[in-house]
Amino acid sequence: MNVRTATAADLPVLEELWRAFVAEVPPPEHVELDEERELREIADLVRDGIALLAVGDDGGSTIGFALAHRAGFRAGELTDLYVVPDARRSGVARALVLEVVSRLEQHGIEHVELDVQTSNGAARSVYARWGFREHRVVLVASIAALAARLEPAAPGVELGVVFVQTDDYAAVERAASAFAPRIGSPGVEVDAPVGGWIAVRDGAAVHDAAALRRVAHELSDRLGSVVISLGIEAGSVVRLTALDRGSIIDEYLSVPEFHGPLPPGDVIALAANPTVLQRLTGADPAKVRTVATAASPADLPPPLEHAAAIAAALGLPPLDR
Protein backbone atom coordinates (compact mmCIF):
# COMPACT_ATOMS: atom_id res chain seq x y z
CA MET A 1 0.00 0.00 0.00
CA ASN A 2 1.20 3.52 -0.77
CA VAL A 3 -0.20 7.02 -0.34
CA ARG A 4 -0.09 9.51 -3.17
CA THR A 5 -1.47 12.94 -4.04
CA ALA A 6 -4.86 12.93 -5.76
CA THR A 7 -5.19 14.92 -8.97
CA ALA A 8 -8.11 16.16 -11.04
CA ALA A 9 -7.97 12.88 -12.97
CA ASP A 10 -8.80 11.06 -9.71
CA LEU A 11 -12.05 12.96 -9.08
CA PRO A 12 -14.30 10.10 -10.27
CA VAL A 13 -12.57 7.72 -7.84
CA LEU A 14 -12.79 10.25 -5.00
CA GLU A 15 -16.49 10.79 -5.69
CA GLU A 16 -17.10 7.04 -5.62
CA LEU A 17 -15.28 6.67 -2.29
CA TRP A 18 -17.12 9.67 -0.84
CA ARG A 19 -20.50 8.16 -1.80
CA ALA A 20 -19.46 4.87 -0.16
CA PHE A 21 -18.61 6.78 3.02
CA VAL A 22 -21.98 8.61 3.05
CA ALA A 23 -23.84 5.35 2.49
CA GLU A 24 -22.03 3.83 5.46
CA VAL A 25 -22.24 6.86 7.77
CA PRO A 26 -25.24 8.95 6.67
CA PRO A 27 -25.52 12.52 7.98
CA PRO A 28 -27.76 13.25 10.99
CA GLU A 29 -31.47 13.53 10.21
CA HIS A 30 -31.43 17.34 10.62
CA VAL A 31 -28.71 17.74 7.95
CA GLU A 32 -29.79 17.89 4.33
CA LEU A 33 -26.94 16.66 2.17
CA ASP A 34 -26.19 18.78 -0.88
CA GLU A 35 -24.25 16.34 -3.05
CA GLU A 36 -23.36 18.89 -5.72
CA ARG A 37 -21.84 21.25 -3.17
CA GLU A 38 -19.95 18.42 -1.45
CA LEU A 39 -18.43 17.26 -4.74
CA ARG A 40 -17.42 20.83 -5.60
CA GLU A 41 -15.66 21.06 -2.24
CA ILE A 42 -13.78 17.85 -2.98
CA ALA A 43 -12.65 19.30 -6.32
CA ASP A 44 -11.55 22.49 -4.54
CA LEU A 45 -9.46 20.53 -2.06
CA VAL A 46 -7.84 18.53 -4.86
CA ARG A 47 -6.90 21.83 -6.47
CA ASP A 48 -5.98 23.97 -3.44
CA GLY A 49 -5.80 21.78 -0.34
CA ILE A 50 -4.51 18.36 0.63
CA ALA A 51 -6.07 15.40 -1.19
CA LEU A 52 -4.59 11.94 -0.77
CA LEU A 53 -5.36 8.48 -2.09
CA ALA A 54 -4.27 5.16 -0.62
CA VAL A 55 -3.48 2.61 -3.34
CA GLY A 56 -3.36 -1.14 -2.73
CA ASP A 57 -0.32 -3.32 -3.20
CA ASP A 58 -1.62 -4.37 -6.60
CA GLY A 59 -0.94 -0.80 -7.73
CA GLY A 60 -4.39 -0.32 -9.20
CA SER A 61 -7.10 -0.50 -6.52
CA THR A 62 -7.85 2.63 -4.51
CA ILE A 63 -8.58 1.64 -0.91
CA GLY A 64 -8.97 4.96 0.88
CA PHE A 65 -8.73 8.73 0.79
CA ALA A 66 -8.14 11.73 3.04
CA LEU A 67 -8.88 15.43 2.52
CA ALA A 68 -7.60 18.34 4.58
CA HIS A 69 -6.96 22.07 4.42
CA ARG A 70 -5.70 25.00 6.46
CA ALA A 71 -8.47 26.17 8.79
CA GLY A 72 -6.67 29.05 10.50
CA PHE A 73 -3.27 30.52 11.26
CA ARG A 74 -2.22 27.56 13.44
CA ALA A 75 -4.87 24.94 12.71
CA GLY A 76 -5.73 22.56 9.91
CA GLU A 77 -8.87 20.49 9.40
CA LEU A 78 -9.11 16.86 8.37
CA THR A 79 -12.43 17.02 6.53
CA ASP A 80 -12.63 13.45 5.19
CA LEU A 81 -11.06 10.11 6.01
CA TYR A 82 -12.34 6.84 4.60
CA VAL A 83 -10.96 3.34 4.07
CA VAL A 84 -12.88 0.62 2.23
CA PRO A 85 -14.08 -2.15 4.59
CA ASP A 86 -11.79 -4.88 3.19
CA ALA A 87 -8.69 -2.77 3.85
CA ARG A 88 -9.42 -1.71 7.42
CA ARG A 89 -7.26 -2.57 10.44
CA SER A 90 -4.21 -2.76 8.20
CA GLY A 91 -2.72 0.70 8.83
CA VAL A 92 -4.28 2.48 5.83
CA ALA A 93 -6.05 5.19 7.86
CA ARG A 94 -2.94 5.70 9.97
CA ALA A 95 -0.79 6.14 6.85
CA LEU A 96 -3.23 8.63 5.32
CA VAL A 97 -3.44 10.74 8.48
CA LEU A 98 0.34 10.60 8.98
CA GLU A 99 0.81 12.04 5.49
CA VAL A 100 -1.82 14.73 6.15
CA VAL A 101 0.00 15.67 9.36
CA SER A 102 3.33 15.83 7.53
CA ARG A 103 1.97 18.17 4.88
CA LEU A 104 0.18 20.41 7.38
CA GLU A 105 3.36 20.63 9.41
CA GLN A 106 5.27 21.79 6.32
CA HIS A 107 2.93 24.81 6.24
CA GLY A 108 3.62 25.71 9.87
CA ILE A 109 0.33 24.31 11.16
CA GLU A 110 0.48 23.09 14.76
CA HIS A 111 -2.96 21.55 15.35
CA VAL A 112 -5.46 19.53 13.36
CA GLU A 113 -9.17 19.17 14.06
CA LEU A 114 -11.95 17.02 12.65
CA ASP A 115 -15.70 16.47 13.03
CA VAL A 116 -17.10 13.04 13.83
CA GLN A 117 -20.65 11.96 14.59
CA THR A 118 -21.24 10.84 18.16
CA SER A 119 -22.88 7.70 16.77
CA ASN A 120 -19.67 6.68 14.98
CA GLY A 121 -18.17 4.91 17.97
CA ALA A 122 -15.53 2.98 16.03
CA ALA A 123 -14.04 6.13 14.49
CA ARG A 124 -14.16 8.04 17.78
CA SER A 125 -12.28 5.23 19.50
CA VAL A 126 -9.51 5.32 16.87
CA TYR A 127 -9.23 9.13 16.98
CA ALA A 128 -9.01 9.09 20.78
CA ARG A 129 -6.23 6.50 20.58
CA TRP A 130 -4.35 8.79 18.18
CA GLY A 131 -4.60 11.71 20.62
CA PHE A 132 -7.65 13.68 19.47
CA ARG A 133 -9.59 15.24 22.35
CA GLU A 134 -12.95 17.00 22.47
CA HIS A 135 -12.70 20.78 22.56
CA ARG A 136 -16.29 21.68 21.69
CA VAL A 137 -19.62 19.86 21.62
CA VAL A 138 -22.39 20.65 19.14
CA LEU A 139 -25.86 20.00 20.54
CA VAL A 140 -28.97 19.47 18.39
CA ALA A 141 -32.64 19.49 19.30
CA SER A 142 -35.78 19.33 17.19
CA ILE A 143 -37.78 22.55 17.28
CA ALA A 144 -40.94 20.65 18.26
CA ALA A 145 -39.28 18.85 21.18
CA LEU A 146 -37.53 22.00 22.38
CA ALA A 147 -40.72 24.06 22.26
CA ALA A 148 -42.60 21.36 24.16
CA ARG A 149 -40.03 21.27 26.94
CA LEU A 150 -39.67 25.05 27.23
CA GLU A 151 -43.41 25.70 27.40
CA PRO A 152 -44.75 26.06 30.95
CA ALA A 153 -46.47 22.90 32.10
CA ALA A 154 -50.19 22.86 31.53
CA PRO A 155 -52.31 23.12 34.69
CA GLY A 156 -53.12 19.83 36.31
CA VAL A 157 -50.32 17.75 34.81
CA GLU A 158 -47.88 18.00 37.70
CA LEU A 159 -47.67 15.39 40.41
CA GLY A 160 -45.79 14.95 43.65
CA VAL A 161 -46.74 12.12 45.99
CA VAL A 162 -44.73 10.27 48.62
CA PHE A 163 -45.84 6.78 49.67
CA VAL A 164 -44.81 5.50 53.11
CA GLN A 165 -44.86 1.75 53.74
CA THR A 166 -46.83 1.67 56.98
CA ASP A 167 -50.35 1.60 58.43
CA ASP A 168 -49.39 3.91 61.30
CA TYR A 169 -51.30 7.01 60.24
CA ALA A 170 -50.58 8.91 63.46
CA ALA A 171 -46.81 8.43 63.16
CA VAL A 172 -46.76 9.65 59.55
CA GLU A 173 -48.92 12.66 60.41
CA ARG A 174 -46.65 13.59 63.35
CA ALA A 175 -43.50 13.28 61.21
CA ALA A 176 -44.98 15.28 58.34
CA SER A 177 -46.21 18.03 60.65
CA ALA A 178 -42.80 18.26 62.33
CA PHE A 179 -40.67 18.83 59.22
CA ALA A 180 -43.13 20.69 56.97
CA PRO A 181 -42.48 24.17 58.45
CA ARG A 182 -38.70 23.61 58.39
CA ILE A 183 -38.60 22.85 54.67
CA GLY A 184 -40.93 25.73 53.84
CA SER A 185 -43.92 23.58 52.93
CA PRO A 186 -47.28 25.35 52.66
CA GLY A 187 -48.97 22.23 54.02
CA VAL A 188 -48.86 18.45 54.00
CA GLU A 189 -51.86 16.18 53.47
CA VAL A 190 -51.74 12.62 54.77
CA ASP A 191 -54.13 10.08 53.23
CA ALA A 192 -55.63 7.15 55.08
CA PRO A 193 -53.71 3.84 54.72
CA VAL A 194 -54.45 1.76 51.62
CA GLY A 195 -52.93 -1.70 51.21
CA GLY A 196 -50.13 -1.03 53.69
CA TRP A 197 -49.17 2.35 52.20
CA ILE A 198 -49.90 5.92 53.28
CA ALA A 199 -49.76 8.66 50.63
CA VAL A 200 -48.36 12.05 51.65
CA ARG A 201 -49.07 15.02 49.40
CA ASP A 202 -47.03 18.15 49.95
CA GLY A 203 -48.05 21.51 48.50
CA ALA A 204 -44.51 22.50 47.54
CA ALA A 205 -43.53 19.08 46.20
CA VAL A 206 -46.22 19.13 43.53
CA HIS A 207 -44.22 21.64 41.47
CA ASP A 208 -40.73 21.26 42.91
CA ALA A 209 -38.68 18.10 42.38
CA ALA A 210 -36.19 19.13 45.07
CA ALA A 211 -38.98 19.62 47.61
CA LEU A 212 -40.38 16.19 46.74
CA ARG A 213 -36.98 14.63 47.42
CA ARG A 214 -36.76 16.44 50.78
CA VAL A 215 -40.20 15.20 51.84
CA ALA A 216 -39.34 11.61 50.88
CA HIS A 217 -35.98 11.74 52.66
CA GLU A 218 -37.41 13.26 55.85
CA LEU A 219 -40.21 10.70 56.09
CA SER A 220 -37.96 7.73 55.39
CA ASP A 221 -35.28 8.94 57.80
CA ARG A 222 -37.64 9.87 60.65
CA LEU A 223 -39.82 6.76 60.39
CA GLY A 224 -37.10 4.28 59.38
CA SER A 225 -39.47 3.18 56.64
CA VAL A 226 -39.46 2.27 52.99
CA VAL A 227 -40.66 5.33 51.07
CA ILE A 228 -41.47 5.70 47.36
CA SER A 229 -41.72 9.17 45.83
CA LEU A 230 -43.44 9.59 42.48
CA GLY A 231 -43.37 12.87 40.63
CA ILE A 232 -43.72 14.47 37.20
CA GLU A 233 -40.91 16.83 36.23
CA ALA A 234 -41.29 19.64 33.67
CA GLY A 235 -44.76 18.33 32.89
CA SER A 236 -43.11 15.63 30.78
CA VAL A 237 -41.16 12.92 32.63
CA VAL A 238 -41.89 10.65 35.56
CA ARG A 239 -39.34 10.16 38.34
CA LEU A 240 -39.57 7.46 40.97
CA THR A 241 -37.22 7.34 43.94
CA ALA A 242 -37.15 4.45 46.42
CA LEU A 243 -35.65 5.06 49.88
CA ASP A 244 -35.09 2.86 52.90
CA ARG A 245 -34.28 4.44 56.27
CA GLY A 246 -33.31 7.70 54.58
CA SER A 247 -31.03 6.24 51.89
CA ILE A 248 -31.83 6.11 48.17
CA ILE A 249 -31.97 2.48 47.08
CA ASP A 250 -33.27 2.84 43.51
CA GLU A 251 -34.20 5.61 41.11
CA TYR A 252 -36.11 5.69 37.84
CA LEU A 253 -36.60 8.44 35.25
CA SER A 254 -38.89 7.76 32.31
CA VAL A 255 -36.53 9.62 29.91
CA PRO A 256 -33.08 9.13 31.49
CA GLU A 257 -31.34 11.86 29.47
CA PHE A 258 -34.22 14.35 29.60
CA HIS A 259 -32.15 16.82 31.64
CA GLY A 260 -28.95 16.28 29.60
CA PRO A 261 -26.49 13.61 28.39
CA LEU A 262 -25.37 10.99 30.92
CA PRO A 263 -22.65 8.33 31.00
CA PRO A 264 -24.06 4.97 29.79
CA GLY A 265 -23.92 3.51 33.28
CA ASP A 266 -26.06 6.31 34.69
CA VAL A 267 -28.64 5.81 31.92
CA ILE A 268 -28.92 2.13 32.85
CA ALA A 269 -29.10 2.99 36.56
CA LEU A 270 -32.18 5.17 35.96
CA ALA A 271 -34.26 2.17 34.84
CA ALA A 272 -36.48 0.57 37.48
CA ASN A 273 -34.67 -2.35 39.15
CA PRO A 274 -37.11 -5.29 39.45
CA THR A 275 -35.11 -7.11 42.14
CA VAL A 276 -34.70 -4.05 44.38
CA LEU A 277 -38.30 -2.90 43.99
CA GLN A 278 -39.59 -6.40 44.68
CA ARG A 279 -37.62 -6.47 47.93
CA LEU A 280 -38.86 -3.04 48.99
CA THR A 281 -42.47 -3.17 47.85
CA GLY A 282 -43.31 -6.82 47.18
CA ALA A 283 -44.06 -5.95 43.55
CA ASP A 284 -44.06 -8.65 40.89
CA PRO A 285 -40.71 -8.30 39.03
CA ALA A 286 -42.47 -9.06 35.73
CA LYS A 287 -44.71 -6.04 36.26
CA VAL A 288 -41.75 -3.86 37.20
CA ARG A 289 -40.06 -4.84 33.92
CA THR A 290 -43.01 -3.34 32.03
CA VAL A 291 -42.08 0.09 33.43
CA ALA A 292 -40.41 1.45 30.32
CA THR A 293 -37.91 4.21 29.63
CA ALA A 294 -37.58 6.03 26.31
CA ALA A 295 -35.45 8.56 24.46
CA SER A 296 -38.29 11.09 24.32
CA PRO A 297 -41.52 11.78 26.27
CA ALA A 298 -43.33 11.40 22.93
CA ASP A 299 -42.44 7.69 22.97
CA LEU A 300 -44.28 7.10 26.26
CA PRO A 301 -47.88 7.48 27.43
CA PRO A 302 -48.92 10.90 28.85
CA PRO A 303 -47.03 11.46 32.13
CA LEU A 304 -50.02 11.16 34.47
CA GLU A 305 -51.10 7.95 32.76
CA HIS A 306 -47.53 6.62 32.90
CA ALA A 307 -47.18 7.51 36.60
CA ALA A 308 -50.47 5.77 37.37
CA ALA A 309 -49.27 2.62 35.58
CA ILE A 310 -46.04 2.66 37.62
CA ALA A 311 -47.98 3.02 40.86
CA ALA A 312 -50.18 0.10 39.88
CA ALA A 313 -47.16 -2.07 38.95
CA LEU A 314 -45.67 -1.47 42.42
CA GLY A 315 -48.94 -2.07 44.26
CA LEU A 316 -49.12 1.54 45.48
CA PRO A 317 -52.46 3.25 46.22
CA PRO A 318 -54.18 4.90 43.22
CA LEU A 319 -52.89 8.40 42.47
CA ASP A 320 -56.38 9.89 42.29
CA ARG A 321 -58.29 10.13 45.54
C-beta of residue 33 within 8 angstroms of C-beta of residue 27: yes
End-to-end CA distance of the chain: 75
Calpha distance 113→101 (Å, rounded)? 11
Region label for 260, one of left (φ > 0), alpha (ψ between -120 and 50) or beta (otherwise) = left
pLDDT of residue 266: 85
Tell me the mean pLDDT in the region 236-242. Answer: 94
Strands 111-113 and 75-83, by their bridges, are parallel
Average pLDDT, the chain: 89
Calpha distance 285→274 (Å, rounded)? 5
Torsion sign (Cα): 251, 252, 253, 255: positive
> What DSSP element (H or E) covers 275?
helix 274-281
At 213-230, the pLDDT tens digits run: 988 999 999 999 999 999
For each of the domains in the chain, give its residue range(s) and CATH number, in order of start.
Answer: 2-130 (3.40.630.30), 153-313 (3.30.70.1270)
Torsion sign (Cα): 238, 242, 248, 251: negative
C-beta of residue 236 within 8 angstroms of C-beta of residue 149: yes
pLDDT band at 189 (very low <50, low <70, confident <90, very high): confident
Strands 247-253 and 237-244, by their bridges, are antiparallel
At 92-134, the pLDDT tens digits run: 999 999 999 999 999 899 999 999 988 888 899 999 999 999 8
The structure's pTM equals: 0.53
